[in-house]
């Protein structure tokens, strides 16, 4: 799938475990992915040699997906965009970027993933053609057959991701091409509309063919295309609006030496959700209601605010653009 820009701090995606670093990029695995592999492994134990072949093939295919996402990350780095993490799901992978690339850069970042899969497919098929038919290792297992399946799998990954619909790379490629003529917002809306039309067609075919997986993919594509259009429209509306136009100018602050009991007393008297912790004119951190309640439960009312506050809150200059 295409890389997803995230305008937030580099916090791990909820529900993920592990943090393998490849080329400096954290790779994490969603719990659903771990569960999927676990169920698959149990099936292998009970299914014999045939299931082992399928298990090895699926793992190799996920490695291809990981290579796809890493390629996005490395090309994004080339254009000065940092990848916060790569998250692996049972349905694929997602590269989270720290910001959205410029339109002309997004074209190459999005195109890089499918191209690497097509390159892998071409390389494997070329190698198989060059070596010709080889003797099988057994009556049921052939390296050539395995590599041929892997080549076709990469071909399918590359072509599917080129479908011009969000969240696939093809949707971002289409937007990048359209934006050169129609502007960013209109290009996003057109690309989103194309994606939804394709999703409806895909869903209709899945319905008449009783293909539940295709119907699920169609629903996923439709909702993703709709979300992309809404998010981009919201961003366009906020472009040119400074942070100071939306910020609260009157609020309660806490001192690092205040107790959680004192913070609670202030909290019940106001609807304020977040409390800056300051010492003089210096911002030391932020205490929100969730952290306050957690601190009360874990440390008691006499604990100090300094021990429960977030010491690295997101800070924006009042003149910054909300978009």
pLDDT in tens, 151-187: 999 999 999 999 888 878 998 999 999 988 888 888 8
Please report, for the chain, the start and end positions of each structural domain, with discontinuous segments joined by +.
Answer: 1-162, 170-239, 244-307
pLDDT for the residue 233: 80
pLDDT for the residue 77: 93
Residue of 69, 85, 106, 228 marked active site: 69
Q: What is the pTM of this model?
A: 0.71
Q: Is the pLDDT of residue 6 over 50?
A: no
The average pLDDT across 57-70 equals 93
- Average pLDDT of the residues of the chain: 83
pLDDT in tens, 224-248: 888 888 877 877 666 666 766 666 7
Q: Is the pLDDT of residue 116 over 90?
A: yes
| Among 78-82, 144-148, 168-172, 284-288, the least confident range | 144-148
CB 310 within 8 A of CB 284: no
pLDDT in tens, 91-114: 788 888 888 888 888 999 999 999
pLDDT for the residue 136: 42
The average pLDDT across 249-262 equals 84
Query: Is 46 annotated as catalytic?
Result: no
Q: Angle at the Cα of 318 (from 98 to 14), degrees rounded to 5? A: 30
The average pLDDT across 254-281 equals 86
Q: How far apart are CA 248 and CA 44, in angstroms?
A: 58
pLDDT for the residue 75: 95
pLDDT for the residue 8: 44
pLDDT for the residue 238: 66
Q: How far is CA 314 from CA 8, 192, 213, 245, in A?
A: 8, 31, 40, 17
Q: Is the pLDDT of residue 220 over 70?
A: yes
pLDDT for the residue 315: 77
96-102: long-range contacts, CB 8 A cutoff, minimum separation 24? 96/3, 96/4, 96/5, 96/6, 96/13, 97/3, 97/4, 97/5, 97/6, 98/5, 98/6, 98/10, 99/5, 99/7, 100/5, 101/5, 101/76
Q: Is the pLDDT of residue 10 over 60?
A: no
Residue range 244-307, CATH number: 3.10.580.10
């Amino acid at each position: 799938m295409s890389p997803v820009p995230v305008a937030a701090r580099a916090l791990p995606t909820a529900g993920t475990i592990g943090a393998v670093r490849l080329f400096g990029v954290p790779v994490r695995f969603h719990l659903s992915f771990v569960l999927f592999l676990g169920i698959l492994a149990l099936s292998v134990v009970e299914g014999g040699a045939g299931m082992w072949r399928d298990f090895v093939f699926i793992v190799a295919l996920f490695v291809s997906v990981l290579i796809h996402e890493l390629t996005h990350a490395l090309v994004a780095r080339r254009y000065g965009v940092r990848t916060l993490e790569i998250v692996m799901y049972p349905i694929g992978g997602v590269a989270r970027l720290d910001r959205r690339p410029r339109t002309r850069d997004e074209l190459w970042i999005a195109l890089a993933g499918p191209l690497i899969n097509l390159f892998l497919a071409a390389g494997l098929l070329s190698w198989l053609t060059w070596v010709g038919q080889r003797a099988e290792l057994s009556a049921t297992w052939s390296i050539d057959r395995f590599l041929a399946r892997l080549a076709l799998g990469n071909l399918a990954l590359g072509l599917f991701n080129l479908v011009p619909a969000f969240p696939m790379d093809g949707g971002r490629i289409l937007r990048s091409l359209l934006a050169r003529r129609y502007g960013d917002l209109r290009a996003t809306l057109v690309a989103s509309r194309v994606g939804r039309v394709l999703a409806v067609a895909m869903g209709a075919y899945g319905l008449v063919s009783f293909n539940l997986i295709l119907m699920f993919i169609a629903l996923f594509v439709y909702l993703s295309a709709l979300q992309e259009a809404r998010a981009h429209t919201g961003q366009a509306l906020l472009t040119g609006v400074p942070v100071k136009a939306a910020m609260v100018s009157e609020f309660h602050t806490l001192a690092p030496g205040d107790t959680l009991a004192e913070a609670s007393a202030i909290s019940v008297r106001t609807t304020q959700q977040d409390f800056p912790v300051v010492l003089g004119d210096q911002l030391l951190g932020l205490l929100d209601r969730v952290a306050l309640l957690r601190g009360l439960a874990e440390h008691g009312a006499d604990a100090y605010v300094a021990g429960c506050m977030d010491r690295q809150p997101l800070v924006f200059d009042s003149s910054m653009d909300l978009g």
